[in-house]
Structure 1
């Protein structure tokens, strides 16, 4: 399968919403409409250069197969910024075909081009299929996340 990775565009909104809704459902959560609108706008806005989104286009041009959101941010332990890969989702009907790997590699390439080699992300323990890929393309951290 030919995988085309490109930046999110305004014309992608319906497909992006479809994929992000599936992603949120996978993690058994939802967000209000204002969050959808805000996230989409931020990922397209030059006013938010720290927020980025890439999509994987279907080979026939009929929609999207996957998405990734990533955020550049400062870090106290480094001079250069780091990249937080916040959301990664591949349509279930094309999983195992290299789309997720291609999206991660595209984030790595964007980080390298910006002089920001450190990329990190989190996933839930039960995401076994995703973790099989992550174990191939990254090193698992021993850190545990806490939240307020």
Structure 2
């Protein structure tokens, strides 16, 4: 098996990123207008935006995606990093790709001066939760939200 490479996306990676993005939305039973996906992509490749993305490549094929956002925090001087979207192609789950993508975010956020990385997952995502509990702490917070 060829080695896994993780690297930040460039504008040339759109055709590799888009199917993973669409699979992520499908996983969470979500549909977004094409304009939202296009805007998200434009933000991910704009150096002036706080949003970032990386792809995991194996054998010339993108097999995983992570999107993350830097933001201010009232609880620290350093920015925080919100790992918003993570997906590993179903054929590559359980092979360490997800862990490597998260570790890439840890290293990138630390190098960029962030004080922490945080994320959410659905309570039914048991497989992912098993990984997350090994590589992060579970603070016990409950999310509340209201669409506006």
- TM category, shorter: over 0.9
Report the TM-score, using the length of structure 2 for normalisation.
0.95
Secondary structure at the aligned position of 2:63 is classed as strand
- Structure 1 portions without partners, runs of 5+: none
Contact conserved, 1:24 with 1:30, CA < 8 A, in 2?
yes
Q: Aligned residue for 1:142?
A: 140
- 1:54–1:67 Cα contact (<8 Å) kept: yes
Deviation for aligned residue 1:117: 2.9
Report the alpha carbon displacement of residue 57 of structure 1 after superposing the two structures with TM.
Answer: 0.7
The answer to whether 1:126 aligns with 2:124 is yes
Q: Could you tell me the TM-score, scaled by structure 1's length? A: 0.95
Preserved contact between residue 44 and residue 51 of structure 2 (Cα < 8 Å) = yes
Which segments of structure 1 move beyond 3 Å, counting only runs of 4 or more?
A: none
After superposition, the CA RMSD in angstroms is 0.9
Shift of 1:12: 1.6
Instruction: Show the 5 A alignment for 1:41-56.
Output: 41-48=42-49, 50-56=50-56
SS in 1 for 2:30: coil
**How far off is 1:15 after superposition?**
2.0
Could you tell me which residue of structure 2 aligns to residue 113 of structure 1?
A: 111
Q: Which residue of 1 aligns with 2:63?
A: 65
